[in-house]
Structure formats: C-alpha cells, structure tokens
Structure 1
C-alpha cells in the first residue's frame, strides 16, 4: 500500500545589477515584487527596428480577471512571456520556480513529471487541498494533495505568458489559492492574419543521450475578421540519465531509465459574428510517458538505483472549454464552460515495504526469508475530472467622466471527482508458498488468501461540489487614489467513499463519509498612483482551503500507533484552514523608463493547518488540522535597460515560514520551519544584442539562479530534513536572420550535481539531483 506521502560582458551585467540593487534598497523600503513587465522589443524573433528602443515596455495582464497594465495592479505578480520562456529554455515547473521570487517545489512521491507540489510565500502543505491554484487560461486544474500525484504540468507550448500571482487569490480564484495562483495564458486565434511558426531543438545531456523537441503552430483566418482557427502540435523526448543496477552485483541492468516522451495538441477556434460577440471553443490535450522517476538511491554511486521494480507513469491531460465574450455596452459579459480531466497511471517499487516475510510463520524453514525477498509493486490509477462553469460581468475601465466606481461580479460552479485505485501485488507469493508446500490461507500461516498475489487493494472516490458568488468593487476618491473591496462566498459538499480488501487492509471493508462547509473570504486594498511611474498599494486578504475526509485505518494493524498518539482511532474528516495575508508594495520606473523596480513586504498568519500524520508502526497515515504558522518576507524584481542593446534583471525573495504552535503528533514545535520552503532565492539575468553584417543581429544571454537551503520535513532525523542551497548557470548565444533564429545553449553549465531533495519513498531514502548539464541547439522561425 502506498502508505506514506512525501512529502555585453558579464562584468557589466554584475555592475549594473549591483547599482540597481543599491537604488532599490535606498529608496524602496516597501516596494512591490511584481515585475509584470515583458519587454516585447527584446522578444526573440522581434524585428530589428524594435531593438532601438531604450525603454521597458509594459504588458497587459488578466490577474484581476480584466485586462490591466500590470504596473497598476495592486498585487505581487511575475510575468514571463512565451518568447522569454522559449529563449531561456524554461521547460517545466522546476525551471519556473527558480526564475521567479518566493516560489518553490517539492516532490510528491518521488521526482518527475506530474509529481511535484508548488508552494508560494511559504504556504506549503502536502496534505489536504492544494495551496496554489493552477489555471490554464480560465480553467482551474487545481486538485487536492495526494501521495499518488502532484500538480498538473501543462507543457510551455504556444503560451502567450505565465502569470504568477503571489498572495491569497481566494476572492477571484476560490479555494486552494492560499499561497497564490499560477496562470498559463495561451495564444488566441488571430482573426486578421495568417501565422505559422516552427520550433526545433536538439540537445545532449551529460550521463544521458539525445533530447529533442519539435513543434509547429498555424493560425488561419477562415473568414477574415470573423472566423479563425489555430492549431498547434508538439512532440518531444528527454533522455534519461539514471541507471538501474543489480542490487546484488552492482552491474548495470538498464541505462537512462528516467527517459520521458511527450506530445501536445492544441486546437482553438474564434468566431466573432458581430463586433460585440466572440465565441471561442478550444481543446488542449497532452500525454507524458515517463519511463521512471528522476530519483536515485543515495547509497549507490551517483545517478544509480537498485530498485527491483521499474516505476513508469502515463499522465494524460484533457482540457476542452468554451469561452463566450459579449460587450453589453456599459459592461462586458464572460462565460467560461470547461471540462478538465487528468488520468495518471503509475507504478511504484514497493519491495522495500514488503515486510510480509516478518509476519510469516517460519514453517517450513526458509519460507519467511523467501517471501521477504520477493519484488513488490504498487499500481496506482489516478483519475481527476471536473466540470466547471463561471459567469461574470465586468464594468468598463475607470473613466472619471462616467463614474467613480468600477466593479466585477460573478458566479461559479464546479463538480469535481477524484478516483484513486491502489493494487499491490507481491510477485510470486503464491508460487513461493507452493514451492515450500504451504498455503497462505491456511490457519497455520497468515489465514488469508492473496488472489493474483495481491496484498492490498484500495479504491477511493472523492467528490467535491461547490457553488460560489464573488465580486469586487473599486471606488476612486480621485483618479490617482482608489480602494478595492472584494468578497467570495462559497458552499461545498465533500464526500469520500472507499472499498478495500486483502491482507494489509485487514480483509474486505467499505466506508462512506460526507461533510459540508462554507466560507466567506474578503479582500481589501488601497492603491495610490503617486505619478504615472510610481504606484504604491497595501492589501489585507483572506485565503482558505476546503476541508475533506479521511479513509478508515484498520485498528487491528495500527493499535500501537494510536496508543502512542493517545487516540483509539483515526479521525474521519478534517476542517478548512484559513489565513490572513497583509501586503505593502510598490511598482516604480526611473531614468526615463529604463529602470523598473518592484518590491513587496508581506506578513501571513495561518491557522488550523491541514497536515499529514504518519503512523510509523503500521505505515498508514491520516490528515487532520494541527497547529498554526506564520510566514513573512519580501521580494523584489529589478529590470534595467542601460542601452538599447543591453537588458539586465535581478530578482530575489526572502521567506521566513515557521510553526507558531507546538504539534505533538508531528513531533514539531513552535519555531520549526515549514517544509519545502527555501528562505532565500535570487536570479541574475543579462542579455546583450549586437549587429551582424547585413540585416542580421546576434545576442548573448546568461542567467544565474540561486536557491537557499530549506527543510523537506518536520522530522529532524529524516534525511530530507536539511535541503542544501544550490545554484545553476545557463547561457546561450545566437543570431537572427530574416524570419529565423538559431541558438546554441547550455543549461546547468557547471554540471552541478548536488542532491537537493531526499524524499522518503516507500521507506527508501532517495535523492533528487539537478538535471545534468545539457548542451543543445535550437532553430525557431516563422513561415
């Protein structure tokens, strides 16, 4: 049973970044970390004439569910454009978390695609509901924390931008956006122009072999100005760098077992029968086949594993949606109907927790040892499916001649089903018994049969249904000063039904439990535009997570663990937890719009944390509410353009997240750090553009990322308790000619192989390292 959870010149760049940092420290004690500026003039493939711009250009975002200049939005945002994702070779969540302040990740149960949990500003929990909302356009892909899967990870393909919203977003995005929200904004069909682009990349990984990615996108107006179709297709392969070795001889059995293949298809059509109405159906489909996880054994040479059972996974994501926009004159109406489905089937090696041999009566002699040496697997089938409907009405942008108010209001409904099936065979169990002339069902042995060698079966069905009404009201005292009041009221029903059987379940069992909950989450903010280049804001916002239900735990197997905790049985449910976040921020531009400095300070009080309590004797666990926590810190992002050819960036964050009360059931005390939260992180970037003969130009880019130390668990004796600080360095050089861009790049240039996480997976202390150095070449073009 999967019983446990797991949780120009570079010198010039440094000098300029140091000067920018000094300016920030001297003049912005309370500035906002939201460098929501994407300089489109510096996007790969941009026309050469755009390179002459010496100013940083702003971008519109939809963080508050209306199009706004990001420098005026009163919350902490980081925005990375699709062009910058491609240029920086940011390919997955781990890359993304290193590129923005105060965002981190932890492996859910091993490391690999679809197995990570995301944390923002220290709001981290591997139990209960998620703490960070994940959205593809306006479609929520947020699900509860489970030991068997992590967050959905859409490939960064045909993306207009990624918006990282720090701080609670419960008013507009609902439950589970306690720490923040990550939005993947897709490129939309263009009604006016035909567009076609291709991208190809080939690289090699140290200790692995060849990787590749190929994609193409076509946008075709079918009726110019009225109807357009956008189609995108991508396929990719990542080579593995971890070798499977024999646990007895140490010889390599298979090389590069953690290889991965992926494919993505995106379809969208936009129909605008009138200037006021647009209808956009779309479908996103993605499949990722992982041959194994990215973790190795720490007691073996680097990047080797001695597992007996391989751990492949198949992760399929389907997101169809229908978006309708209608301009009603004085307000805009939007309807988003969506269906989200994720199917993730995977295998874990359960050999190390196959301690059945110790329970086998040693008659005849040698049987117990033979049973204990058998390989064992954990077959996990996860399916998440959700239908949701959101309808909202948004006022027109502020116009002092019309009204001092702007507003937004809406309703939301979601019906979420999550199924987890767990089968755990011990291969050859019955044959081994037969070879010793015995039968496990005999009263003198275990007294129970093992059909198909299966030792544990569990089938769980979670069902959450929720309805919500939400809104925000802005009042402008004067054009430069306005206050915002927001609210969301939610009602939800959560149920869990479960069937179980076989030895480790204590025989056949069945249970069902249901709970109801409601929440009212307010939001208050005040925004002052001191002048067109300087905005200051402050906010107080409440965030929350829904409660849930626990599976029953057999008392016959876990009585000793219950006694140690002073209980007679495990709880059947857990409650919602809430937090209040207070933020003070600033967004400023200096030197004729060539220097942007954004920063924020925050303080968070979190009560009734949903936590996972492990029962070490029997290997089960349950979720409950224990303890309170406090998180405070700061973040900043600086962008500078000293000349039209140089772009520099410096960003960083500080988070101090600790328990504020003792938690005896977790052997934790007030002041202990929250797991998975680096105290510091920073990124330094630089780009230099230069002219080449003819109508061509070249570029050189570099990025240094530093992530501070953290704690992977609350248990000081756990190998994952102390996670070390680490750094990476990426660089690229290339040229643009006509419609094409050729780039030579390197990721993890110094081949840092530090073990950054040591997750305890099925009682094995495994190691997750940075991906080895990868060197490659890419070609992007418009055709």
Structure 2
C-alpha cells in the first residue's frame, strides 16, 4: 500500500472535509437538541440495500453508498444522468447534446476513451458498454423503480470490470403475490423558450393463482425541446428542433411455489427518438444553432433476464441469466469534418471551387449496436444478521460474451455532380477514389469481448463489534477486433485489419467495520478496480512517424488499467432515528490510464495507456427530521482529481485536472408534509443544488478548458387526497441559462445549456 501520500495539500483537503462534516452537524444541532421522542412516523427510514449481493442494512456495508428511493426520484423529477448527478455526491456527467450521449464518472475517475469507468446495472444485469465516440452510457428509464444504489469506489470483486470509480444499480419494483393494484399518472409542463411537454405512466400488479404474480409498467414521454434552428440570414426557421419522444415498457413475472424456490423474470424495452441534438452554437443567440445537416438519433434498449433463487438448508443458490441489447442510430453534421476536407484537397488554393464544395452537406451516419450475454452463479451462506453466527460468505462464477458492432459511413451530398459541373471530370479523377452517392469513406468494425471470472467474498466477526471482510476476483478475458474500411478517407490504411488482446486481472478487497454503538458504524476499506483493454482502428501509413515519436510499442491495442482505492468513513443514526449522517474520505491511485492520444502530424486519435492519475476527496450526506413534519436533506462532495504523470499526445501536463469532474458539489433540500384534514395531506419541497467548476479539456486554449460553476433550484407543492396526489412543480425555478459545457464535436465547439425553467402539473392515482 502507498502510505506516504499525505502532502500539505492533502492535509488541507482533509481539514476541509472534516470542517464540512462539523458544519453539517452544527447546522442541525439546535433543532435536533429539541427533538421529542421519535416514533416510526418521525424517524428517518432504515435503508436496506443489496450492494454486496445480499440484503443488508446500509450501515453494515463498508462502502460509501447513496440511495435514492423511487418516491424521491419521482418527486424530484430525476429523469437523466444530469439530474442524478446533481442529486448524488461524487457523481458527475458530460454530454454532447441529447439523451444517450452522457458520460459519467464517480469520485473523479473520468475517461472518455477505452472501457467505461462506472458499472451500470439494471437489477443484477450489466448494461455497461465501452466508451464509444458516437454513443454515451446506457440509462434505463427511471420509472416504477424501488430505488437506485450509487456505490462509490471500485467494486471489482463483486461487479468485475468497469466498476472502476463505482457502480450504479437501478432496482426495479417486483411483482407482489396476492395483490391486485396499480397506479396511473399524467403530467403536463411548459418549458421556457420551448413548448409543451407531457408524460404518461401506468402500472398494474396482478396475481396469477396463489404463488405467482405479474407486473406491467409503461411510460410515454414527449419533450418539446428548446433549441431553434436559424437559416443563413440569421432568421429562425425551425423552432424546438431537439424534441424527443420516449416509449418504455417493463414486464416482470414472479413464481414462488415454495419457501425455498423463487423465480423472477424481467423484460425492459425502451426507445428514445430525438429530432436533433440539444446543443447551441456559441456565436449565435441563446438557444440557437445553424447546422446545415440535422442530427437525429434513435436509441433502443432491450434487456430480458431470469433469476432463480433456490435454498438448500441454510445456503442459497442464485442463477442469473441476462441479455442486454442496445442500438444507437445517429446522424452527424459532417460539413466541416468531411466536406471542407474534401474541398481543401480538390482546390488547395481555397478559391471558388473550394468554397462551393465546402458548402455541400456533409453527413456521417453511425450505428453502434452492443449485445451482451451474461450468466452468473452464486452460492451464499446466510448473512450475519440472519444466522447469528460470526461469519458469512459467498462464492460465484461469471461468464459474459459481448459483441460490439460499429458502422460509420461518411458522405458529401452532391459531390459527384458538383465536381463534374465545376471541373468537367469525375471525382475519381480528382481525388483518386470513386464516391458512389457521395460516399467518401466507411469504417465497419466488430469487437468481441469474452470473459470468465471466479469470485469470493466473506466476512468474519473478529469481536462482537469488529467485522473483517475479504474479497477476491480472478478474471480471464479476451478481446478480438476486426475492421473493414474503404473509400478516400481510408487511403493508406489496410482494407481489413485484425487485432486481439488478453488479460487476467486479479482484484482483491479488504475492509473493516467497527460498530462503535447501536447507532454509529465506522469502516475502512482498500480495494482494487480495473478496466479491460481493447483495440484501436487501423491507422493509415501516414501515422507511422507519429506512433514512433510517441514511443508507443503497439498502436493497435491498449491494455487493462487499474487503480487502488483507500477509503474510511462513518455511518450514523442519531437522536432516536431522527437523524442519519454519513461521511467518507478517499484516496485513489490510478495507473496506466486509458485515454486519448492525438497523433499530431497525421491527425488521428487513438486510445493508449498514457500516464497516471490520482483522485482524493470525500462526501457527506445528512438527513434530519427537524420537526414531525419538516425534513432537512443535505449532501456535498469535494473531489481533487489530477494527472500525476502526463504522457505525450494527451495534451495534459502534470497537475492537469481530470476532465468533467466538478471540484465540489452541494445540495440542500427541505421537505414539509402534514395533514390538512382527515382526508387531505399537504406537502411542499424545495431543493438547491450547486455544481462547482470543472475542466472540459487539457489545452488551456480550448473554450471548454474551465467549465463554470452553476446553481439550480427546484420546487414542488401539492396535496394527497386519499389515493390521488396532485402536485405543481418547477425545475430550474430561477431559470439559470448558463452555458455549462463547450464540447468540440467534429472540429466545431458548441454549447451545452441547462434546460430552461419548466413548470408543470402532475396527477397520480393509485388503485
């Protein structure tokens, strides 16, 4: 272990964390001192999680965890990763314009290249996909969920690769035996600078005989968008071009024929169609863009699974079979990227011919399709709480096959006719390649990732108050890659290229939990996380000098990277259950980071193991019942994530901030709920969230180098009449319209803005 890492700066950081924790406690000290004897209705609910693949009280788990219940998600109108990040300490996001394009990180472990750094799970099925240029991380629709678990820090022992910075688990509501029930909701809203939105949801739970049940949940949503297209004269000719439509269905079936056998199957299908990306051009007016080519997309997810749980005496055997298929079809505006490039080659004097061809619409059509088959088997003893013994354990095996198909076809519309008209010749004579239908290049690849893993984890009560936990996972993984490419853009590259990698990462975990009292639990852990390696697209012959100058042994592939994380924290439940306060501090040492390496002379970008990084900081969360009707929610995080060993070609220098990681975040919310009459309850909530400054690029000359801090206020007000709830809500109440990110997409720097103030009405009925 690296023990001599406490520098003056790190001591200052820890001092700030301790001070923040102290202020959090002081802020509620006065109200809490006056608390009356707590009852079940006036206590903060106890949280039970399955983070360690068994049901446990959250205070017994030696990991920093945030939990958002389904009711919290609905009342706070958490709809995407941006909303989720503002509600969760340590979670951050970057986006290039629309749904399906978000990148996320936890605890500063951020990389847009290589494999993902955060594991995404729907129940126990992995939805994690590698970082793709055209596709963001997968987000299952947030409806009819029991809760969301955000596990911070590497979870490599139980969740394997890509749970490097942490893991997000979306836990759905399951069928209930012997119960016929349901609910329906309708929501309408209006977005400033946009139009009208709506969302409809319905859920039905129905028994099937005495030992089976079925649950069906559906959602339909329309978002009007708020970005306008302007023509060449600067006049708006198409409003709200970034409208989106989503349809989602989840069906679950439970068969529970005996006390020792339970079979659950779940199927989720969802599709989001976007008319265009919701990103602005910085030189135009607020909420405006002038792309000559629209950028529609269609994002589809299909995820069925079957889980079998069988008890053999005290032991439980679990088998989980899953399949996850995601397809993302997208069109890009490639006018600058492709049309301008072709024009500069045909007319290198940049005269009238160049100007005419450069103005032709350039279109990039891309499809990413990821299919993952997985099978997990586990055998587990009862938990410590269930058995009353001094030990608990589980062992398991995991098998997965993943196929990633990427199709990239690039066109300059009207190229052949324009060249013939201007030059009196064919495009093939002008550039040496035929361009049927304007096709100037295609790049079609297939990646196959296979892995087998064995894992084990166990805990032992050293004393009545001290518990030790040890875990280990051994993985054997292979990755194969095949690329077919052609056309003028692929000049100098092989028509077909193959590459493969193998890796055998071993990821241990060590943890101690000390029960200081019935209400205070202290923990410390050390854990290793990893990402699997992969392959790069074949390079043209012009790139050989760049590869040699950077000292890269093999530009065709990159290897696994890994990190060690060291964490300590406290989980408390105070004043008779009226207050919960959790705090944690961490230090992460990250080696051989998979990140972008630019080959300056030939213009290509590859993924390489380039440099080292470290991240340190901490989080706190507090929830307090200030009165029988008023609840305070407070959370915050400080993250100091930097490059410690920069590599040539990355654009970073020693000390550069890792990208897309806010230096601090905070959230303060108040929830008020009380009876108005015997049949009517009233409620009110308000929440303020702060996102600190971050870096969007390593180059100081980039417009995205420093991303600004921003603040949002959300609020809701409503009544609950028997089984009907009516609420009025506002998101971005103060209408913050700051450009929060300035990503460069295909050589064009654009602006990501916050969704303007949205005010709506929601009606929900249960039966």
- For normalisation by structure 1, the TM-score amounts to 0.91
Corresponding position of 2:184: 198
In 1, the alpha carbon distance for the partners of 2:26 and 2:762 equals 42
In 2, the alpha carbon distance for the partners of 1:631 and 1:362 equals 47
Q: Give the direction of change, closer, same or farther, for the CA distance of 1:633–1:472 in structure 2 (3 Å limit).
A: same
Instruction: Kindly state the Cα deviation for residue 590 of structure 1 after the two structures are TM-superposed.
Output: 1.7
Instruction: Kindly state the Cα deviation for residue 562 of structure 1 after the two structures are TM-superposed.
Output: 5.0
Corresponding position of 1:461: 446
Corresponding position of 2:485: 500
Instruction: Kindly state the Cα deviation for residue 438 of structure 1 after the two structures are TM-superposed.
Output: 2.8
Structure 1 segments unaligned to the other structure (5+ residues) = 1-17, 29-49
Instruction: Kindly state the Cα deviation for residue 66 of structure 1 after the two structures are TM-superposed.
Output: 0.2
Whether contact under 8 Å (2:597, 2:610) holds in the other structure is no
Corresponding position of 1:38: none
Corresponding position of 1:182: 168
Question: Map of 1:313-392 to 2, 5 A cutoff?
Answer: 313-354=297-338, 355-361=341-347, 366-392=352-378
Corresponding position of 2:540: 554
Instruction: Kindly state the Cα deviation for residue 80 of structure 1 after the two structures are TM-superposed.
Output: 0.4
Question: Map of 1:103-122 to 2, 5 A cutoff?
Answer: 103-107=91-95, 110-122=96-108
Q: Give the direction of change, closer, same or farther, for the CA distance of 1:569–1:311 in structure 2 (3 Å limit).
A: farther
In 2, the alpha carbon distance for the partners of 1:93 and 1:598 equals 23
In 1, the alpha carbon distance for the partners of 2:403 and 2:121 equals 18
Say whether 1:475 aligns with 2:460.
yes
Corresponding position of 2:495: 509
Which secondary structure state, in structure 1, belongs to the residue aligned with residue 208 of structure 2? strand
Instruction: Kindly state the Cα deviation for residue 500 of structure 1 after the two structures are TM-superposed.
Output: 0.3
Q: Give the direction of change, closer, same or farther, for the CA distance of 1:20–1:646 in structure 2 (3 Å limit).
A: farther
Corresponding position of 1:712: 696
- 90-99 vs 369-378, which moves further: 369-378
Which secondary structure state, in structure 1, belongs to the residue aligned with residue 202 of structure 2? strand
In 2, the alpha carbon distance for the partners of 1:304 and 1:408 equals 55
Instruction: Kindly state the Cα deviation for residue 619 of structure 1 after the two structures are TM-superposed.
Output: 3.8
Corresponding position of 1:150: 136
Match of 2:403 among 417, 421, 446: 417
Corresponding position of 1:613: 597
Question: Map of 1:484-499 to 2, 5 A cutoff?
Answer: 484-499=469-484
In 1, the alpha carbon distance for the partners of 2:141 and 2:389 equals 42
Question: Map of 1:61-100 to 2, 5 A cutoff?
Answer: 61-100=49-88
Corresponding position of 2:746: 762
- For normalisation by structure 2, the TM-score amounts to 0.93
Match of 2:569 among 585, 589, 593: 585
Q: Give the direction of change, closer, same or farther, for the CA distance of 1:286–1:452 in structure 2 (3 Å limit).
A: same
In 2, the alpha carbon distance for the partners of 1:570 and 1:351 equals 33
Say whether 1:777 aligns with 2:761.
yes
Which secondary structure state, in structure 2, belongs to the residue aligned with residue 687 of structure 1? strand
Structure 2 segments unaligned to the other structure (5+ residues) = 1-17, 29-37
Corresponding position of 1:10: none
Q: Give the direction of change, closer, same or farther, for the CA distance of 1:228–1:489 in structure 2 (3 Å limit).
A: same
Whether contact under 8 Å (2:600, 2:649) holds in the other structure is no
In 2, the alpha carbon distance for the partners of 1:478 and 1:637 equals 29
Instruction: Kindly state the Cα deviation for residue 55 of structure 1 after the two structures are TM-superposed.
Output: 1.0
Match of 2:657 among 640, 650, 673: 673
| Aligned CA-pair RMSD | 2.1
Instruction: Kindly state the Cα deviation for residue 26 of structure 1 after the two structures are TM-superposed.
Output: 7.3
Instruction: Kindly state the Cα deviation for residue 543 of structure 1 after the two structures are TM-superposed.
Output: 0.5
Which secondary structure state, in structure 2, belongs to the residue aligned with residue 665 of structure 1? coil
Corresponding position of 2:120: 134
Instruction: Kindly state the Cα deviation for residue 275 of structure 1 after the two structures are TM-superposed.
Output: 1.5
Corresponding position of 2:228: 243
Q: Give the direction of change, closer, same or farther, for the CA distance of 1:673–1:23 in structure 2 (3 Å limit).
A: closer
Q: Give the direction of change, closer, same or farther, for the CA distance of 1:363–1:699 in structure 2 (3 Å limit).
A: closer
Say whether 1:102 aligns with 2:90.
yes
Say whether 1:228 aligns with 2:216.
no
Corresponding position of 1:161: 147
Q: Give the direction of change, closer, same or farther, for the CA distance of 1:19–1:579 in structure 2 (3 Å limit).
A: closer
Corresponding position of 2:34: none
CA displacement, residues 344-374 of structure 1 (integer Å, 9 cap, x when unaligned): 1001100111321110047997333221111
Instruction: Kindly state the Cα deviation for residue 616 of structure 1 after the two structures are TM-superposed.
Output: 4.9
CA displacement, residues 501-551 of structure 1 (integer Å, 9 cap, x when unaligned): 111111761101111111100000000111110000000000111111111
Which secondary structure state, in structure 2, belongs to the residue aligned with residue 434 of structure 1? helix
Q: Give the direction of change, closer, same or farther, for the CA distance of 1:65–1:376 in structure 2 (3 Å limit).
A: same
Corresponding position of 2:705: 721
Instruction: Kindly state the Cα deviation for residue 555 of structure 1 after the two structures are TM-superposed.
Output: 2.1
Which secondary structure state, in structure 2, belongs to the residue aligned with residue 356 of structure 1? helix
CA displacement, residues 44-86 of structure 1 (integer Å, 9 cap, x when unaligned): xxxxxx9972211112110000000112211000000001100
Instruction: Kindly state the Cα deviation for residue 24 of structure 1 after the two structures are TM-superposed.
Output: 4.7
Which secondary structure state, in structure 1, belongs to the residue aligned with residue 608 of structure 2? strand
Whether contact under 8 Å (2:372, 2:400) holds in the other structure is yes
In 1, the alpha carbon distance for the partners of 2:351 and 2:510 equals 72
Whether contact under 8 Å (1:440, 1:448) holds in the other structure is no
